[in-house]
């Protein structure tokens, strides 16, 4: 299957399949098939079209140009292994058949039958067995607000939030005994959890020292080193219905 | 560095003729996957096979992983990477399904656990659950993408409630659920297919996995599901975190590390 691998400094960022009759657009703006978030890349920078058996790269009069194997091109017929440079990103074109394990599909000689009564009891059993998420993902989102040691608030997404002395932490905390990452906050299916991560100064939630991890409740107060934060949960479902 | 003791079994069960589940246990990459394929005849096997193969290929095709090289995203670089791997596997399965009539409509669930330096990342599409056992409690780290789960909590259980609302390969794009959390020594993770989770309750999984090491716990879980009918393929991956070494970055932490080294050098 022909595909394009987007790389940045040897790191694979994403891979995109391109089939016959398809085209892929490349650019900085979100409506492209391959989005490259870099100011050196034009909004709509280039595209790859399928022509017959082959694929052609066309530069869309981009500001900084498109390069194939270090040659500036306005259009180029892609060959296996071609390296397309756009800004500082690299796109590798491959015709590899590696993923086409489906060489000779077996005939389907029977249709799937569902044993409905069995099915229904399984459904009920699995409903009882699975812990229900307390808050549905789309219905709630949490945020942190500083009580002391800083100001403003921080919305919590699915990203792991790091709290600690390391300057790259989302919440930077001062203190001799505070770890580079002292605590983290993660979003799990049933809510937000604060975990202790390292260092000698342990995080506290409502004045209770956290040794491993604890689920955060609305209005919980988190204290680490010089920083005190309050956790809030916005229940979007009640906000919508009221 | 997270070190893990791992075990996994994929069993055909009693009622089915073929195994459409696939598992990955890759200690070198810190990657563990369960994929439960669906589709007529052999298509389910093809779908789950393509999923595990393409994810492993994608994540193995690395180069040096440099967190700073990525633009600041909404997730950690390693979590983004796992999502990109699932996205790629979706494209591979979807494309194969559109190219071959026999494979039309095939798809697969995916439930993956991927370790970073000191965290674990859990991602899933479909109804193969990922459980975390910690502090004698069992929690779900995955979100079931089923009709049932998408209904309000108090709604009556519908007919065919566990029909999947999302699967890898059924559409041209898929959105996986993902979460990342800190990892602790003693954490136990269980990734399984619904052939296990519909037969064995979370409380039983908790009891079995805390009482014995991963390899025998895995066997016990699969045997229990088979005793209760073995209606579907049964896959279980059990992981026990045996150690988490965090980078000491506080002044005091570095000092303690130096002292420890000095003590061990004196002792030897």
* Chain A residues within an 8 Å CB radius of B249: 164-166, 179-181, 198-199
pLDDT tens track for B24-75: 999 999 999 999 998 876 899 999 999 999 999 999 875 444 444 445 557 8
CA separation for the pair A101, A115 (Å, rounded): 31
B105 touches chain A (CB under 8 A): no
Q: Are A140 and A232 in contact (CB under 8 A)?
A: no
Residue B187, pLDDT score = 95
CA separation for the pair A103, B232 (Å, rounded): 27
C-alpha angle A91/A93/A96, rounded to 5°? 140
As averages over each run of 10 residues, the pLDDT of chain B (268 residues) reads 93 92 94 92 90 92 50 76 92 92 91 93 95 93 81 54 81 91 93 93 95 96 94 95 75 70 74
CA separation for the pair B224, A65 (Å, rounded): 62
Query: What tokens does B108 get?
Result: 């697969």
Residue B213, pLDDT score = 96
Give me the residues paired with residue A24 across strands. A48
CA B187 to chain A, closest CA, distance in angstroms equals 10
Estimate the share of chain A in helix, then strand, then coil, as percent rounded to the nearest 5: 10, 45, 50
Residue A237, pLDDT score = 56
List Cα–Cα distances, B11 to B215, B222, B236, in angstroms: 14, 7, 9
Residue B219, pLDDT score = 96
Taking chain A, what is the end-to-end CA distance rounded to the nearest angstrom? 51
What three-state secondary structure class fits B145?
A: coil
What three-state secondary structure class fits B2?
A: strand
CA separation for the pair B175, A17 (Å, rounded): 17
pLDDT tens track for A193-234: 999 988 788 899 999 999 889 999 989 999 998 899 999 987
**What ipTM was predicted for this assembly?**
0.70
CA A173 to chain B, closest CA, distance in angstroms equals 11
Q: Are B236 and B9 in contact (CB under 8 A)?
A: yes
Contact B178 A129 (CB under 8 A): no
Residue A48, pLDDT score = 93
Residue A110, pLDDT score = 31
Of the candidates B143, B153, B180, the beta carbon closest to that of A186 is on B180
* Chain A residues within an 8 Å CB radius of B82: none
DSSP letters of B163-207? -BS--BTSSS----EEEEEE--TT-EEEEE-HHHHTTS-HHHHHH
CA separation for the pair A158, A136 (Å, rounded): 13
- Least Cα distance to A195 among A204, A183, A182, A208 occurs for A183
Q: Are B76 and B89 in contact (CB under 8 A)?
A: no
Residue A113, pLDDT score = 37
Contact B95 A1 (CB under 8 A): yes
Q: Are A156 and A171 in contact (CB under 8 A)?
A: no
Beta-sheet pairing, B188-192 with B234-244: antiparallel
Residue B152, pLDDT score = 57
Q: Can you give the C-alpha Rg of chain A in angstroms?
A: 26
Q: How many CA atoms lie within 13 A of B123 on its CB side?
A: 28
Taking chain B, what is the end-to-end CA distance rounded to the nearest angstrom? 24
Low-confidence ranges of chain A (pLDDT < 50): 98-120, 122-123, 125-135, 239-242
C-alpha angle B224/B229/B232, rounded to 5°? 95
DSSP letters of A32-72? SSEE---TTS-TT-EEEEEETTEEEEEE-S-SS-EEETTEE
Neighbours of A51 (CB within 10 A): 11
- Least Cα distance to A127 among B162, B228, B224, B166 occurs for B162
State which H helix or E strand residue B214 sits in: helix B214-227
CA separation for the pair B139, A130 (Å, rounded): 9
A181 touches chain B (CB under 8 A): yes
DSSP annotation of B146: B
Of the candidates A16, A176, A196, the beta carbon closest to that of B251 is on A176
Residue A114, pLDDT score = 39
Strands of A34-35's sheet in order across: A34-35, A23-27, A46-51, A54-59, A75-77
Would you tell me which residues 156-175 of chain B have a C-beta closer than 8 angstroms to some C-beta of chain A? 157, 159-162
Residue A10, pLDDT score = 80
Give me the residues paired with residue B37 across strands. B108
């Amino acid at each position: 299957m022909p595909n394009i691998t987007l790389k940045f400094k040897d790191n694979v960022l994403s891979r995109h399949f391109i089939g016959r009759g398809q085209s892929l657009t490349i650019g900085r703006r979100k409506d492209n098939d391959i989005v490259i978030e870099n100011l050196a890349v034009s909004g709509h920078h280039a595209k790859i079209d399928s022509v017959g058996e082959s694929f052609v790269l066309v530069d869309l009069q981009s500001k900084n140009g498109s390069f194939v194997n270090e040659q500036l091109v306005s259009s180029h017929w892609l060959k296996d292994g071609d390296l397309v440079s756009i800004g500082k990103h690299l796109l590798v074109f491959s015709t590899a058949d590696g993923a086409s394990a489906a060489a000779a599909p077996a005939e389907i000689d029977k249709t799937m039958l569902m044993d409905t009564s069995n099915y229904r009891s399984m459904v009920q059993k699995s409903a009882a067995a699975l812990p229900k998420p307390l808050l549905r993902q789309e219905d709630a989102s949490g945020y942190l607000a500083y009580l002391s040691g800083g100001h403003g608030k921080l919305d919590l997404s699915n990203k792991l939030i790091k709290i600690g002395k390391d300057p790259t932490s989302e919440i930077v905390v001062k203190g001799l005994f505070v770890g580079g990452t002292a605590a983290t906050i993660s979003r799990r299916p049933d809510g937000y959890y604060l975990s202790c991560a390292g260092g000698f100064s342990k995080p506290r939630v409502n004045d209770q020292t956290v040794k491993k991890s604890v689920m955060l409740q609305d209005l919980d107060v988190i204290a680490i080193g010089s920083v005190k934060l309050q956790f809030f949960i916005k229940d979007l479902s009640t906000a919508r219905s009221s | 560095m997270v070190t893990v003791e791992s075990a996994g079994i994929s069993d055909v069960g009693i009622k089915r003729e073929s195994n459409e589940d696939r598992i990955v246990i890759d200690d070198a990459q810190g990657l563990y996957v369960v994929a439960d394929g669906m589709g007529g005849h052999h298509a389910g096997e093809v779908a789950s096979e393509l999923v595990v193969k393409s994810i492993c290929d994608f994540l193995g095709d690395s180069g040096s992983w440099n967190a700073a090289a990525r633009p600041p995203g909404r997730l950690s670089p390693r979590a983004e990477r796992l999502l990109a791997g699932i996205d790629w596997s979706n494209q591979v399965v979807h494309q194969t399904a559109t190219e071959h009539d026999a494979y039309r409509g095939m798809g697969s669930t995916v439930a993956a656990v991927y370790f970073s330096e000191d965290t674990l990342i859990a991602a899933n599409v479909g109804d193969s659950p990922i459980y975390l056992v910690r502090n004698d409690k069992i929690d779900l780290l995955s979100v079931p993408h089923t009709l049932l789960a998408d209904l309000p909590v108090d709604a009556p259980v519908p007919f065919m409630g566990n029909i999947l609302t999302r699967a890898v390969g059924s559409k041209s794009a898929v959105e996986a659920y993902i979460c990342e959390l800190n990892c602790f020594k003693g954490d136990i993770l269980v990734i399984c297919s619904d052939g296990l989770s519909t037969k064995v309750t979370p409380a039983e999984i908790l009891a079995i996995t805390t009482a014995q090491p991963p390899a025998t716990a895995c066997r016990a879980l699969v045997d229990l599901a088979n005793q209760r009918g073995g209606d579907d393929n049964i896959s279980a991956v059990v992981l026990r975190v045996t150690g988490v070494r965090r980078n000491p970055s506080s002044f005091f932490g570095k000092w303690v590390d130096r002292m420890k080294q000095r003590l061990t050098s004196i002792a030897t």
